[in-house]
C-alpha cells in the first residue's frame, strides 16, 4: 500500500536558503575528518546514481516540475568525489534530493549502527514560531532545564519556521545524527538563554543484513494506537495518532463510535498512513460516495472515490482537530470534511505535506557477507482535492484557528480540545482538557534478533 501530496515562490526561496545553511552547518559541526567506517566514495556515488535513476523513472511529473535534476545531481557528484567522511557524502545525497522541496520525496539513508535521542519535541505553532512541546524525563534536555513552552529562536545557529523545521528534524534524526544540539530559546516567562542539549546515543547492530530487514517487514503488523475519552456515553473523543492501520480493521474501529451523538476526532500530530485505510475511513463518515482526490500521475489522472460504509457509517456531530504536524492523510480527511460540509475543523493550519509516495529500496554491499539498505521515498502522485486545489505547501486552514500560547504549553493547558468539547455540548477547562491525553513518547520500530 502507498503512503499519503502550486508551491509559493516566497516559501520555496526561503526554504532553499535554509536548506543550504543547514547542510553547511552540519558539515562544519560534523566529524569531517573521520575516515569511512562503511561506505566508500565510489559506493556513495553509486547510491546517488541509483537515486537519480529512480527519480527519473518514478516521480509523478516526468519534467520534475521544471527542476534541473541533472545539474543538481552533478553538483552532488563533485562534492562526493572529494568527501572525507561517510556523513559528508550522505549529506550531499540528502541535499540533492531535498532540493526538490517535495514533502514526500526524500533520501532514505543506510541504516546506522546507532541512533540518537535528543529528548525534545519541537513543533511549529502558527505561521512562524516554533516551540518545545515535550521534554523526555531523564534526558540531558530536562537536566539543562528545557521545558514545554520554551520558544525555539535558533537551532545550531539557524532560525526555523514551520516551512523548514521538518527538513531540519529529518536531517538531524535520519541522515546525520549529532552528538548534541545548540539551542537558543526564550522561556514562557520571556527570558532568553543558550544551551547545548546532548543526545543519547543508542547502540545497535554493527551491520544490518538484507535478510534482517526483510524479516522485520514480513513480521511487522500495523497496530491501532488509538486513545479514547467518553462523556456520559454521548460524546467520544478519539485520538488517532496515524493511519497506519490495516484497512480490514477500520469497520471495527468505526463500530466503537456509532452509538455516540458526537465525535471529536483528534488528528493533531497525525502524520498520515495508508491510502486504502484513509479511503475506508472517509467512507465511515458519509452516507454517500465521496470523491476524495484526483491523483495526478505520470500516465494520467485518476479519481479516488471513497465508498460509503452504509449502516456502519457514523452519522452524529463531527469535530476534527488538526495542527502543524497533521500531515498527508489526516489533512485530506480534514479537508474532505470541510468541502463536504460534514463537520467543523479547529486548531492550527496543517503541515501542507500532501502527496502519494512510495519507497524504492536498494542494497549496497559492505563486504563479502553484509549489505546495507538505502533508498528514496518518491512522490508518485500529486493529489488534487475536489475543488481542484492541492494542499501541498498550503495545508488546511481550520474553520476556527486556535493557537496555544507559550504559557498554555508550559502549564499543559489544551484550549483546542476544550473548545471542541464546548462545540460538542460539554464544558471543560483548558487545564482539564490538557489532562485527557498526556503526551506519550513513541516507541521506535526496531529489528530484533535472537
Give the C-alpha separation, 60 to 432, whole Å: 46
Reading the chain (450 residues) residue by residue, the pLDDT tens digits are 455 532 222 222 334 444 555 555 555 555 434 444 578 899 999 999 999 999 999 999 999 999 999 999 999 999 999 998 888 999 999 999 999 999 999 999 987 777 889 999 999 999 889 999 999 999 999 999 999 999 999 999 988 888 788 888 888 888 888 889 999 999 999 999 999 999 998 876 555 555 555 555 555 556 778 999 999 889 999 999 999 999 999 999 999 999 999 999 999 999 999 999 999 999 999 999 999 999 999 999 999 999 998 888 999 999 999 999 999 999 999 999 999 999 999 999 999 999 999 999 999 887 777 778 899 999 999 999 999 999 999 999 999 999 999 999 999 999 999 999 999 999 999 999 999 999 988 765 443 322
Sign (positive or negative) of CA dihedral 36, 37, 42, 43: negative
Three-state DSSP class for residue 68? coil
DSSP 48: H
Q: How many residues are listed for the chain in this entry? A: 450
Model pTM?
A: 0.87
Predicted pLDDT at 401: 97
Instruction: Give the cell for residue 402.
Output: 486556535
Three-state DSSP class for residue 234? coil
Give the C-alpha separation, 244 to 271, whole Å: 9
Predicted pLDDT at 168: 84
Q: What is the DSSP string of 157-170?
A: TB---HHHHHHHHH
Which domains does the chain show, CATH number per domain?
A: 1-111+357-383 (3.30.750.44), 115-204 (2.30.42.10), 223-354+390-433 (3.90.226.10)
Give the C-alpha separation, 221 to 248, whole Å: 12
Predicted pLDDT at 16: 47
Cβ partners under 8 Å of residue 136, min gap 6: 117, 119, 120, 142, 441
Give the side-chain half-sphere CA count within 13 A for 291: 12
Predicted pLDDT at 210: 52
Give the C-alpha separation, 163 to 127, whole Å: 8
Instruction: Give the cell for residue 305.
Output: 472515490
DSSP 91: H
Q: What percent of the residues of the chain are helix, what percent strand, and what percent coil, each to the nearest 5?
A: 35, 25, 40
Q: List strand residue ranges (DSSP E) for 187-233, in order.
A: 192-198, 200-203, 227-231
Give the C-alpha separation, 277 to 244, whole Å: 8
Give the C-alpha separation, 312 to 255, whole Å: 7
Give the C-alpha separation, 93 to 83, whole Å: 12
> SS3 sequence, 255-284?
HCCCCCCEEEEECCCCCCEEHHHHHHHHHC
Predicted pLDDT at 220: 54
Amino acid at each position: 500500500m502507498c503512503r499519503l501530496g502550486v508551491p509559493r515562490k516566497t516559501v520555496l526561496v526561503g526554504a532553499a536558503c535554509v536548506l543550504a545553511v543547514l547542510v553547511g552547518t552540519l558539515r562544519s559541526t560534523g566529524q569531517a575528518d573521520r575516515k569511512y567506517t562503511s561506505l566508500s566514495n565510489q559506493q556513495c556515488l553509486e547510491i546517488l546514481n541509483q537515486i537519480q535513476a529512480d527519480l527519473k523513472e518514478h516521480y509523478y511529473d516526468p519534467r520534475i516540475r521544471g527542476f534541473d535534476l541533472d545539474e543538481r545531481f552533478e553538483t552532488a557528484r563533485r562534492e562526493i568525489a572529494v568527501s572525507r567522511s561517510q556523513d559528508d557524502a550522505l549529506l550531499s545525497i540528502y541535499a540533492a534530493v531535498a532540493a526538490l522541496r517535495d514533502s514526500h520525496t526524500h533520501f532514505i539513508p543506510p541504516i546506522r549502527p546507532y541512533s540518537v535521542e535528543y529528548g525534545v519535541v519541537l513543533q511549529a505553532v502558527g505561521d512562524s514560531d516554533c516551540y518545545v512541546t515535550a521534554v523526555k524525563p531523564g534526558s540531558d534536555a530536562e537536566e539543562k532545564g528545557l521545558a514545554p513552552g520554551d520558544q525555539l529562536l535558533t537551532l545550531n545557529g539557524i532560525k526555523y519556521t514551520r516551512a523548514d523545521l521538518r527538513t531540519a528534524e529529518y536531517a538531524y534524526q535520519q541522515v546525520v545524527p549529532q552528538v548534541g544540539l545548540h539551542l537558543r530559546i526564550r522561556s514562557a516567562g520571556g527570558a532568553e538563554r543558550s544551551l547545548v542539549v546532548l543526545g543519547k546515543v543508542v547502540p545497535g547492530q554493527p551491520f544490518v543484513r538484507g535478510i534482517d530487514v526483510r524479516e522485520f517487514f514480513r513480521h511487522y503488523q500495523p497496530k491501532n494506537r488509538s486513545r479514547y475519552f467518553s462523556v456520559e456515553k454521548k460524546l467520544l473523543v478519539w485520538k488517532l495518532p496515524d493511519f497506519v492501520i490495516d484497512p480490514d480493521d477500520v469497520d471495527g474501529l468505526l463500530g466503537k463510535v456509532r452509538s455516540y451523538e458526537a465525535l471529536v476526532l483528534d488528528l493533531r500530530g497525525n502524520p498520515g498512513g495508508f491510502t486504502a485505510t484513509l479511503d475506508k475511513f472517509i467512507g465511515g463518515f458519509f452516507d454517500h460516495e465521496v470523491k476524495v482526490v484526483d491523483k495526478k500521475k505520470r500516465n494520467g489522472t485518476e479519481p479516488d472515490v471513497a465508498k460509503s460504509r452504509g449502516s456502519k457509517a457514523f452519522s452524529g456531530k463531527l469535530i476534527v482537530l488538526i495542527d502543524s504536524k497533521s500531515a498527508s492523510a489526516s489533512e485530506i480527511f480534514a479537508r474532505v470534511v470541510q468541502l463536504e460540509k460534514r463537520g467543523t475543523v479547529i486548531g492550527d493550519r496543517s503541515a501542507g505535506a500532501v502527496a502519494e509516495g512510495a519507497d524504492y529500496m536498494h542494497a549496497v554491499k559492505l563486504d563479502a557477507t553484509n549489505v546495507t539498505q538505502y533508498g528514496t521515498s518518491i512522490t508518485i502522485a500529486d493529489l488534487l482535492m475536489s475543488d481542484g486545489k492541492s494542499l501541498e505547501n498550503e495545508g488546511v486552514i481550520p474553520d476556527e484557528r486556535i493557537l496555544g500560547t507559550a504559557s498554555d504549553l508550559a502549564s499543559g493547558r489544551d484550549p483546542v480540545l476544550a473548545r471542541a468539547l464546548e462545540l460538542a455540548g460539554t464544558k471543560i477547562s483548558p487545564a482539564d482538557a490538557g489532562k485527557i491525553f498526556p503526551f506519550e513518547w513513541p516507541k521506535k520500530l526496531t529489528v530484533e534478533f535472537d
